[in-house]
């Protein structure tokens, strides 16, 4: 199966589970669904589910953990788009949540999706062992908070010139957590180290590819505003390195990420394909 077909298959599985987890019909929940079930490749859940398959982890448990990861990712995008952050009107070709609804609702959507993520992980439906559930909660809290994604966003807002550190936190921390949840559920400590290293490389590659798209793409193709970093004088991999050097760094990270998977042989072919997907992504 091609990487595109597998991504579609996993996205449908994740979307079905997320829809069931947001089944109320009040305005806030409708806005939550708008945010978490909008267009997207569901790359982070894909990484969790494929890592779980490689490790032989319980598929139902990994699916729930993958949904929690996607809730955190969606919440971060809702808040990132707010006027007090990046002030974006478009996300994946649609109005951002604060434009489709209003700013107050967008704040509450982000808050609620974050809470839902931890509710999912703490629920015995995810795993019967409370120690495993606690480890999952701890992992995601660290990846999302002041030691991870939120710290990266703070560095971004402050105009940090340490792009690699900023993006390893803002983008990479949640991508690393995506494979680590599978290792926790599988009880695979050695594999967790290798998978985390793979995901760290992949996370930086993803961000460089995103920066290249921002420099070379257009709004119609990408479904969001482009050229905003350069227009605002903000540093990113392209503004710091230039297009040619950024592309070389992207290719080197791709080689490194694939090498991290040697331990798993052909079982990890879909995770290797995910690297190529990131290199070739256009959205």
pTM of the full structure: 0.92
In sequence order, what are the residues at sequence separation of 6 or more whose Cβ sits closer than 8 angstroms to the Cβ of residue 111?
Answer: 75
**Residue 51: which domain range?**
3-280
- Phi, psi at residue 94, to the nearest 5°? -125, 160
Q: How much is the pLDDT for 219?
A: 57
Count of domains observed in the chain = 1
Residue indicated by tokens 């599988």: 186
Helix (H) or strand (E) holding 94: strand 94-95
What is residue 217's predicted lDDT score, i.e. its pLDDT? 65
Token reading at 206: 């993803």
211 alpha carbon, distance to own chain's centre: 16
Is residue 92 a contact partner of residue 40, using CB atoms and an 8 Å limit? Answer: yes
Q: For residue 279, how many C-alpha atoms fall within 13 Å in the half-sphere facing its CB?
A: 18
pLDDT, tens digit only, all 283 positions of the chain = 899 999 999 999 999 999 999 988 899 999 999 999 999 999 999 999 999 999 999 999 999 999 999 999 999 999 999 999 989 999 988 999 999 999 999 999 999 999 999 999 999 999 999 999 999 999 999 999 999 999 999 999 999 989 999 999 999 999 999 999 999 999 999 999 999 999 999 999 999 999 999 888 655 655 555 556 555 567 899 999 999 999 999 999 999 999 999 999 999 999 999 999 999 875 4
SS3 229: helix
Pairing of strands 94-95, 90-91: antiparallel
CATH number, domain of 250, equals 1.10.600.10
The CA distance from 280 to 282, in Å, is 7
Residue 254 φ/ψ, nearest 5 degrees = -65, -45
**Chain centroid offset of residue 20 CA:** 21
Q: Where are the beta strands (DSSP E) in the chain?
A: 90-91, 94-95
Quote the radius of gyration of the chain (alpha carbons, Å). Answer: 18
């Amino acid at each position: 199966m091609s990487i595109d077909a597998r991504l579609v298959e996993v996205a449908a599985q994740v979307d079905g589970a997320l829809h069931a987890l947001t089944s109320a019909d009040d305005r806030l929940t409708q806005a939550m669904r708008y945010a978490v079930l909008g267009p997207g490749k569901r790359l982070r859940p894909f990484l969790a589910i494929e890592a779980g398959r490689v490790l032989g982890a319980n598929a139902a448990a990994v699916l729930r953990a993958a949904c929690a990861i996607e809730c955190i990712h969606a919440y971060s995008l809702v808040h990132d788009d707010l006027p007090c952050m990046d002030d974006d009107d478009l996300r994946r070709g649609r109005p951002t949540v604060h434009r489709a609804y209003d700013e107050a609702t967008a704040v509450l959507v982000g808050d609620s999706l974050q809470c839902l993520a931890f509710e999912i992980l703490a629920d015995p439906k995810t795993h019967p062992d409370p120690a495993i559930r606690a480890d999952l909660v701890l992992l995601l809290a660290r990846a999302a908070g002041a030691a991870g994604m939120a710290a990266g966003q703070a560095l971004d807002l402050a105009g940090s010139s340490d792009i690699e550190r900023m993006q390893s936190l803002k983008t990479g921390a949640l991508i690393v957590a995506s494979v680590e949840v599978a290792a926790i559920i599988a009880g695979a400590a050695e594999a967790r180290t290798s998978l985390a290293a793979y995901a760290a490389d992949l996370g930086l590659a993803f961000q460089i590819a995103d920066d290249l798209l921002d420099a070379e793409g257009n709004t119609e193709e990408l479904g969001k505003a482009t050229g905003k970093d350069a227009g605002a004088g903000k540093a990113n991999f392209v503004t710091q390195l230039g297009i040619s050097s950024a592309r070389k760094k992207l290719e080197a990270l791709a080689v490194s990420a694939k090498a991290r998977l040697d331990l798993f042989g052909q079982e990890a072919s879909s995770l290797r394909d995910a690297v190529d997907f990131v290199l070739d992504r256009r959205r």
